[in-house]
Structure 1
Amino acid sequence: MPKVNESVINFAVYENSTEYYGMAEVTLPEISNLTEEVKGAGISGTFESVVLGHLEAMTLTLNFRTLVKDAVALLEPRDHQIDLRVAQQGKDTVSGKTTVTSIKHVMVVKPKKLNPGKVAPASPAEASGEYAVTYWATFIDGEKVLEVDILNFIYFVNGTDYLADVRKALGK
Structure 2
Amino acid sequence: MAIDQSVINFAVYEDSVEYLGMSKVTLPDVTFLTQSISGAGVGGNVEAVILGHLEAMTLGLEFRTTTPQSVQLSELRRHSIDLRVANQYEDPVAGTVEARKEKHIFVVVPKSTKGGAIAPATPTSGSGEYAVRYWATYINGKKVRELDPLNFICYINGVDYLAGVRAALGK
TM-score range, shorter chain: over 0.9
What's 1:140 paired with? 139
Q: CA deviation at 1:56?
A: 0.5
Aligned amino acid, residue 21 of structure 1: G
Aligned amino acid, residue 126 of structure 1: S
Count of residues paired in the alignment = 170
What's 2:77 paired with? 78
Cα distance in 2 between the residues matched to 1:170 and 1:22: 43
Cα distance in 2 between the residues matched to 1:22 and 1:41: 56
Aligned amino acid, residue 34 of structure 2: T
What's 2:2 paired with? 3
What's 1:20 paired with? 20
What's 2:32 paired with? 33
SS state of the match for residue 37, structure 2?
strand
What's 1:50 paired with? 49
Aligned amino acid, residue 30 of structure 1: D
Structure 1 outlier segments of 4+, above 3 Å:
none
Q: CA deviation at 1:19?
A: 1.2
Aligned amino acid, residue 75 of structure 1: S
Structure 1 portions without partners, runs of 5+: none
Aligned amino acid, residue 52 of structure 1: L
What's 1:119 paired with? 118
Aligned amino acid, residue 7 of structure 1: S
Contact 2:133/2:150 (CA < 8 Å) preserved in 1? yes
Cα distance in 2 between the residues matched to 1:145 and 1:129: 26
Cα distance in 2 between the residues matched to 1:22 and 1:11: 9
Aligned amino acid, residue 112 of structure 2: K
Q: CA deviation at 1:99?
A: 1.4
How large is the RMSD of aligned CA atoms in angstroms?
0.7
Aligned amino acid, residue 146 of structure 1: R
Cα distance in 2 between the residues matched to 1:165 and 1:144: 20
Cα distance in 2 between the residues matched to 1:138 and 1:163: 18
Structure 2 portions without partners, runs of 5+: none
SS state of the match for residue 70, structure 1?
helix
Cα distance in 1 between the residues matched to 2:158 and 2:107: 21
Q: CA deviation at 1:101?
A: 1.1
SS state of the match for residue 166, structure 2?
helix
Q: CA deviation at 1:18?
A: 1.1
What's 1:129 paired with? 128
SS state of the match for residue 167, structure 2?
helix
Percent identity over the alignment? 54
SS state of the match for residue 124, structure 1?
coil
